[in-house]
Structure 1
Amino acid sequence: MDELLIIGAGIVGLATARAVLERTPDAKITILEKADAVATGQTGHNSGVVHAGLYYAPGSLKAELCREGRLATIEFCEANGVPLGRIGKLVVATDELEVERLGALAARAAANGIEIERIGAEALSELEPNISGRAAVLSPGTGIVDYGLVARTMQAQLEASGVRVVFGADVVSIDERSGAGGGEVRVRTADGAEYRAERLVACAGLQADRIARLGGLPADFRIIPFRGEYFELDGRAELVRHLIYPVPDPSMPFLGVHLSPTIDGRITVGPNAVLGFAREGYRRGAISPADTFDYLRYPGFWRMAVRHRRAAVVEARNSLLRRSYLAECRRYAPELRLDDLGERFAGVRAQAVRRDGTLVEDFLFERTARQLHVCNAPSPAATSAIPIGRLIAERLVEQAA
């Protein structure tokens, strides 16, 4: 019997195994992954940004874990030869209202202890000649990386340390047992295999609510999938040197369309955030009737939809009309043209929504006597993965005490 079972071989699941081994090098750990490789979900479908933590409410778990995670990610990459770009980020204000909002963002960054520099239009033009704005905040600590490569590097190290990673392991049941002589958790997969361990950690991402319910937790939330659609810019690899972000609109639930240089030399534009019809629907037009029916029958979905109806209309329009999508970027990159928008691809965000329709903004952990479930791991989860893993390892020790 294993000491620990982990469901999910995304970056958070892998970082959790790594953190447990830091505490107990001879721990017997098995990771169950339903795909045929690590990092096939949210870990492998994102902008690749190593966030500094500008946006998050001071004192929140998001803010704390992001600060720690940026440093831990840099340390991991430097120690293991993983390419990392320390290119910095510019949050660009294009009108007076955004300049005012930029001030509030700068105050929040300062409260979080994040290094920033406020710059005017002239300095912005010197840093980025192709970007237009009235003012900006420069975050020099923001970087870029390939999180898929980070995850594969972790996998290799874990397997070399004796961790077993089982692919094609689609979990269908979880049975937690207790008794006078101790207890265990039994997990069965779709192929009929059974795995037993003293404890279980679920890092199931887009399936977090379903796995939590299998484990007997009330899971009073639903994962609603939001597609984040990107374009690769054709022939415009020299357009910008920094990450370029708009000033967040507080009436919109997500950060907005941004320009992202990637570690392999491309530039992507995106993402938007449109309602998905499949939890793992990375292909355009993907539909899962089961996934769609699951959230349509959930009262929290309809309350969320009413609350964010304006955002839904804007995002749907941008998804359907390339010109509308382009207009979002031309506010700060006016020379972009329609034919610059090349290959289209997407990620899917696992957004936890409560019954009252509110979005779960921070990390959410739920547990039983022998299980710990990561129920919501929003951005910046990839940046924060290493300290998230250490936090989980600490909580496992508390459970065992």
Structure 2
Amino acid sequence: MSPVHDFVVIGGGIVGLATAHSLLERYPDARLLLLEKEDAPAKHQTGHNSGVIHAGVYYVPGSLKARLCQAGNRSMVEFCERHGVTHEVCGKLIVATKPEELPQLARLEERGRQNGLDIVRLNAEQVAEVEPHVRAVAGLRVRTTGIADYPAVCRVLADLIQAGGAELHYGTRVTGLDYGAEGHRVSTTRGEFSAHYLINCAGLHSDRVARLAGTDPQSQIVPFRGEYYELRPDKRYLVKHLIYPVPNPDFPFLGVHFTRMIDGSVHAGPNAVLAFAREGYRKTDVNLRDLTESLRYPGFQALARRNLKEGAAEMWRSFSKAAFVHSLQALIPEITAGDVIPAGAGVRAQALTPQGGLVDDFLIVKGQGALHVCNAPSPAATASLEIGRYIVNRLPAFAHLASHQTRPQADVSPTRQDVTA
């Protein structure tokens, strides 16, 4: 067994790396170990997302998501500027394409203003000035939304962590956890490690890691694949910013939209379908354990029953390019099937309660000598630096490290809307 570490962080996505970075900011002399099962950081959710720096317009005012997203919108831009990571604060449009969507657009505008965002209401003519090819009756312009190269952010964080003295072990999958008087014994595919305190940022497998540690998150990760098309290079002029529809309040996902990526490409999507594997980026990816767990879980069964019509439409879009393009034409009517080509897909790790409710906020569960990040979907990348600081502020005092602390980060006080435990 290796020498005892002060902290072990499980997961080398952006949340795990940001948490490790925050730990070293608070405790620069800490013996820190980060374990990642892949051969490099950001191989899953972080490396497959759309790269958006969210402003926080959708989230319940006062919720952890809303507060950490707003703070993260600022700190992520600052981090990118400081470390030379490619990014752009380009803004986005949320548009109502028919009159019956106007009340929901107004509610979204009010929520954004409650969250303190810079939002401008646009009429149809003003929408056309910003995005000439969009058909809409009204819209909201959210100026502080941006895009960033999140894998590059992760590479910078990994370099900073290693420069701070931490150990990063790639290709190291956790297979067992045992907690005792001396702390955690962590069994992996590359031997055993030990640590006084454990932080679980395992993303798609976070609920399983929590249960390995003897903690019940009272939810289960169900993976949803989001599939994308992208505009052909000669059609990229159709989209100048980020373009989103008014979300359907009865469906838990945002609907297909257009995202200008940091490399200049324009992605269209995603849909939202059950992935047949937690790392199922292709339709043909099937993991029997993952699929059986999802289908047998009462929470997924309840969610599927409530959203049967919408779920069937999402599945149809997965197999029908014509149906996918038809959804895109609601925003940009002149797009044709010949204008788009298949792009990659991502998998969202969504925690569901046994009753079928989507855990709508970040979920951080306390265990024995541990904290488990058991729900961190979008906007987790945007908020990652703030999630890391929030976690560090929730840790118990470590007397043997206290004399070496840097100045503490400002706390983000919990509210009644928090779903942290």
For the criterion TM > 0.5, the same-fold answer is yes
1:202 pairs, out of 197, 200, 203, with 200
Mapping 1:112-123, distance limit 5 Å: 112-123=115-126
**Which of 216, 220, 224 matches 1:226?**
224
Moved more, 339-348 or 57-66: 339-348
Does structure 2 conserve the Cα–Cα contact (< 8 Å) formed by 1:241 and 1:261?
yes
DSSP 3-state at the match of 2:7? strand
Q: Which residue of 2 aligns with 1:365?
A: 364
Of 81, 84, 101, 1:81 maps to: 84
Q: Aligned-pair distance for 1:397?
A: 3.4
Q: Secondary structure at the match of 1:34?
A: coil
Which runs of no fewer than 5 residues in structure 1 stay unpaired? none
Moved over 4 A (4+): 398-401
Q: Which residue of 1 aligns with 2:409?
A: none
The CA deviation at 1:394 is 0.9
What amino acid does structure 2 have at the position aligned with 1:123? Q
Match of 2:10 in 1: 7
The answer as to whether partners of 2:187 and 2:193 remain within 8 angstroms in 1 is yes
Partner SS for 1:359 = coil
Aligned-residue offset at 1:314 = 1.2
Residue number in structure 1 paired with 2:408: none
What is the distance in 1 between the residues matched to 2:283 and 2:135? 32
Aligned partners of 2:332, 2:304: CA distance in 1, in Å? 31
Offset of 1:190 from its aligned partner? 2.5
2:295 aligned partner = 296
Q: Distance in 1 between matches of 2:355 and 2:397?
A: 32
Pairwise mapping of residues 43-82 of structure 1 onto structure 2 (< 5 A)? Answer: 43-82=46-85
AA aligned to 1:318 is R
Given the alignment of the two structures, is residue 186 of structure 1 paired with residue 189 of structure 2, yes or no?
no
* Structure 1 residue 50, shift from structure 2 partner: 0.2
Query: Partner of 2:106: helix, strand, or coil?
Result: helix
1:141 paired residue number: 144
**TM-score, scaled relative to structure 2:** 0.92
C-alpha distance in 2 between matches for 1:113 and 1:359: 25
- 1:36/1:103 Cα in 2 relative to 1: closer, same or farther (>3 Å)? same
Residue aligning to 1:169: 172
- What residue identity is the alignment partner of 1:209? D
One-letter code aligned to 2:323: S
Partners of 1:81 and 1:334 lie apart in 2 by 38
Deviation of residue 398 (structure 1)? 5.2
Q: Tell me, in whole angstroms, the C-alpha distance in 2 between the residues paired with 1:365 and 1:114.
A: 26
TM-score, with normalisation over the residues of structure 1?
A: 0.97
For 1:372, the aligned partner's letter is L
Q: Quote the residue 1:214 is aligned against.
A: 212
Match of 2:20 in 1: 17
Give CA-to-partner distance per residue, 1:155-185, whole Å, 9 cap, x none: 111111111110111111011112xxxx311
Q: Matches of 2:263 and 2:212 in 1, distance apart?
A: 40
Q: Distance in 1 between matches of 2:230 and 2:282?
A: 16
Question: How far has the Cα of 1:48 moved from its partner?
Answer: 0.5
Q: Distance in 2 between matches of 1:305 and 1:209?
A: 21
Whole-angstrom distance in 2 between the partners of 1:335 and 1:205? 38
Q: What is the match of residue 330 of structure 1?
A: 329
Within the alignment, does 1:105 sit opposite 2:104 as a pair? no
Measured in 1, the distance between the counterparts of 2:295 and 2:98 equals 38
Taking only aligned residues, the RMSD between alpha carbons, in angstroms, comes to 1.2
Equivalent residue, structure 1, for 2:418: none
Q: Secondary structure at the match of 2:236?
A: coil
Further displaced range: 64-73 or 365-374: 365-374
What are the Cα deviations for residues 206-231 of structure 1, in whole angstroms up to 9, with x where unaligned? 00111011000123211111000011
- Quote the Cα distance in structure 1 between the aligned partners of 2:155 and 2:89: 21
- Contact 1:243/1:259 (CA < 8 Å) preserved in 2? yes
The range that moved more, 229-238 or 169-178, is 229-238
C-alpha separation between the residues in 1 aligned to 2:398 and 2:64? 20
In 2, Cα distance between the equivalents of 1:367 and 1:101? 36
Q: CA deviation at 1:26?
A: 1.4
State how far apart, in whole Å, the 2-side matches of 1:101 and 1:143 are: 23
Q: Is the 8 A contact 2:224 2:274 kept in 1?
A: yes
Task: Quote the offset at 1:345 in angstroms.
Answer: 1.3
Identity across aligned pairs (percent)? 47
Contact 1:370 1:399 survives alignment (8 Å): no
Q: 1:156 aligns with which of 155, 159, 165?
A: 159
Whole-Å Cα distance in 1 between the matches of residues 164 and 143 of structure 2? 36
Q: In the alignment, which residue of structure 1 is the partner of 2:353?
A: 354
The answer as to whether partners of 1:361 and 1:378 remain within 8 angstroms in 2 is: no
Q: Distance in 1 between matches of 2:161 and 2:222?
A: 31
Q: CA deviation at 1:32?
A: 0.4
Give 1:90's aligned amino acid.
L
The 1:276–1:399 alpha-carbon spacing in structure 2 relative to 1, beyond 3 Å, is farther
Q: Structure 2: how far apart are the matches of 1:252 and 1:304?
A: 10
How many positions carry a matched residue from both structures?
Answer: 396
**2:413 — aligned with what?**
none
- Cα distance, 1:385 vs structure 2: 0.2
* Structure 2: unaligned runs, 5 residues or longer: 403-421
